[in-house]
Amino acid sequence: MANEAKLIIDSSLGNLSLIRSFLKTYLTHITTDKETILEIITILDELTTNAVEHAYQYQPGDIIIEISRENNTLFLSVEDSGKGFNSHTTLKKVGGIGLILAQSLADDFKIEKKVNGTIIKIKKLLKGEN
């Protein structure tokens, strides 16, 4: 489907600019609303930075980013196979203000634990369309 994209990229702070470019290119094809684009890029930036810093602790690993659009809703997931999210700690303790910011910008925000790693899924309503 033309409204779906997937990126598998090495966990590295150096790759964050590539991830942003990937997302910005995708978003400019599906919406013209600059505020929404900035919010989604901010969400992805926070989630991928957390994967590098917390899940992999700056060690090698893959980050899988999937994005799709259905009608006026954008679906974004960030998956890692790192140390996993500890549900017994608060968001503030785990990811600092980053996860709280990402959660506040999303219309729906879910953290799913895997056997090894975490998947964070967000939904964001799109305001403007091409």
For residues 31 and 51, which has the higher predicted lDDT (pLDDT)? 51
Q: What is the pLDDT of residues 3-13, one digit of tens each?
A: 899 999 999 99
130 located within any domain: no
What percent of the chain clears pLDDT 70, i.e. is strictly above it?
Answer: 87
DSSP state at residue 9: E
Across 93-115, average pLDDT: 84
Cα separations in angstroms, 107 against 11, 40, 43, 81, 104: 26, 11, 11, 25, 8
For residues 7 and 90, which has the higher predicted lDDT (pLDDT)? 7
Displacement of CA 54 from its chain's centroid (Å): 14
115 located within any domain: yes
93 located within any domain: yes
For residues 20 and 93, which has the higher predicted lDDT (pLDDT)? 20
Is residue 65 within 8 A of residue 48, CB to CB? The reply is yes
What range defines the domain where residue 113 resides? Answer: 4-125
126 — pLDDT class (breaks 50, 70, 90): confident
Euclidean distance between the first and the last CA atom of the chain, given in angstroms as a whole number:
18
Is residue 98 within 8 A of residue 55, CB to CB? The reply is no
Which CATH number fits the domain that encloses residue 93?
3.30.565.10
Look at the chain and report how many structural domains it folds into.
1
Q: What is the pLDDT of residues 35-83, one digit of tens each?
A: 988 999 999 999 999 999 989 999 999 999 999 999 989 999 999 999 8
Order of all β-strands in the sheet with 62-70: 4-10, 62-70, 73-80, 118-125, 108-113
